[in-house]
Amino acid sequence: MQRALWARGFKVILGRSDAVAAGGGMLVTAPALALPPALAACEEVAFEELGARSLCIAPGLELAARAVSTAEERPGSGALAAAAAACGTGLVVDVGFSSTSTAAVADGRLLPGTVRRIDLGGKALTSLLREAVSFRAVSLAGENHLAGAIKEAVAYVAADPYAAAADCAKGGSGGSGASAALPPSDPAGPPPPIDPCPPLGTDPRVEYVLPDGVSVRGAGFARPLPPRLSRAERQAAAAAAAAATATTGKKRPASASGAAAPPPPENVIRLGLERFMTVEALFHPGDAGSGQGGVAEAAAASLAASPPHLRPLLSSRVLLVGGGAACPGFAARFAAELTPLLPDDCPPALVCPADPVTAAWRGGAALAGDPAAWASRCLTKAEYEERGSAAGEWCAGGVVKKQGGQ
């Protein structure tokens, strides 16, 4: 089964199922502290099924630290952060799909004793948003793809969730809810953009137009709330509509009158608290029913578990990677939550890559493109046949080469 999955992936992406045997090397990312039997099975598939000549299994946290270039470092970070970047050292926070992990990386190698994991990631956040929208507006049961699209479009991290909730209450009565039979504001033009991270004191509520397969395709789109009309304006609009109806008489079908049919009504939901309270579970997992600490507490625990002489160096380069790190407002809120948890001599300095989603892949590409680094990290087929599985060494931070490079 594993060989079939790998072969299909290579055939779809690279156009040939024997790409590993032809290319020679294979790099696999694995979760930090993965179980040795799983790593041993990966070695068996790579060498005995796919015919790889060399294999490297590295944690995504470690590869992400390698991916951050000097151009992406925080400007004016100082000599300590520059030294940490030069030696591949930093505290990595990976907000992934299935979980959130933090760990210290020193000299390009993961320190296994510093790994902390929260069983909460993008998948769980999508489920929370789906449940909230289903309870307050329309049912999204079984619509994971649509819920994920809504999360990607409107979710953000509030600097103060209580103040943001108060802004939602001040913005208008009704909160979140469904609105039916609303005419489209501008069906020909693109929807107006929304504020990805509304500042405190402004109304964070938005509308999301659900797809209907006719006029709105794909996953729908978000747009700002329509302007609120005064009582006089609403009365004037109602009078104008009544006058138009009295003038034209009974409405006739479009086929009989020759006029174009009116656009179909839009299915619109209004999102307010859901925009930021869903992502709030990363900082307070108890909101999602978990007894674990938040992402800031996990990062502080990873730093506390590292050697004391490395802590100032690690805190001077805190790398935020993973899809969740790209959420608007996450970096500022994370810095505010982390700073009080660290010692006074270890102020955090955040580094946010331009593309945190592909940080691990770019780090793996950099490792594979460096022959010396690859030779020091990989396990060759000859070594595998001579010494057997190196699953325990992968867990401990990499393969330990014998003297003479054997």
* Predicted local confidence at residue 215, as pLDDT: 78
* Predicted local confidence at residue 82, as pLDDT: 81
**158: buried, middle or exposed (CB in 10 Å: 19+, 13-18, 0-12)?**
buried
Query: Distance between CA atoms of 67 and 129, rounded to whole angstroms?
Result: 31
* Predicted local confidence at residue 125, as pLDDT: 95
Query: Distance between CA atoms of 283 and 342, rounded to whole angstroms?
Result: 16
* Predicted local confidence at residue 72, as pLDDT: 57
Query: Distance between CA atoms of 71 and 68, rounded to whole angstroms?
Result: 8
Beta carbons of 317 and 79 less than 8 angstroms apart: no
210 token code pair: 């659900």
pLDDT in tens, 139-197: 998 899 999 999 999 999 999 999 999 999 887 433 444 443 344 455 556 667 888 88
Who contacts 377 (Cβ-Cβ below 8 Å, separation ≥6)?
56, 58, 367, 398, 399
pLDDT in tens, 287-346: 888 899 999 999 999 999 999 999 999 999 999 999 999 999 999 999 999 999 999 999
* Predicted local confidence at residue 200, as pLDDT: 87
pLDDT in tens, 359-371: 999 999 988 888 9
Cα angle 56, 59, 64 (rounded to 5 degrees) comes to 105
* Predicted local confidence at residue 24, as pLDDT: 75
* Predicted local confidence at residue 154, as pLDDT: 94
Query: Distance between CA atoms of 201 and 167, rounded to whole angstroms?
Result: 6
Mean pLDDT of 62-66: 88
Query: Distance between CA atoms of 60 and 67, rounded to whole angstroms?
Result: 10
199 token code pair: 């500042």
- What is the pLDDT confidence band of residue 12, given thresholds at 50, 70 and 90? confident
**More confident position, 165 or 15:** 165
What predicted TM-score, i.e. pTM, was given to this entire model? 0.83
- DSSP run (H or E) holding 276: helix 273-277
Q: What is the mean pLDDT of the chain?
A: 82
Cα angle 173, 179, 185 (rounded to 5 degrees) comes to 105
Residue 246 has pLDDT above 80, yes or no: no
Beta strands across the sheet bearing 379-380: 25-30, 54-59, 379-380
- What is the pLDDT confidence band of residue 7, given thresholds at 50, 70 and 90? confident
Q: Please state, for a pLDDT cut of 90, what percent of the chain lies above it.
A: 40
| 2-119+292-395 carries CATH number 3.30.420.40 | yes
Q: CB 337: neighbour CB atoms within 10 A?
A: 18
Q: Please state, for a pLDDT cut of 70, what percent of the chain lies above it.
A: 80
| Closest CA relative to residue 32, chosen from 97, 89, 104 | 104
Beta carbons of 293 and 198 less than 8 angstroms apart: no
* Predicted local confidence at residue 176, as pLDDT: 43
Spell out the alpha helix ranges (H) of 45-180.
Answer: 60-67, 79-86, 122-136, 144-154, 161-171
Residue 21 has pLDDT above 70, yes or no: no
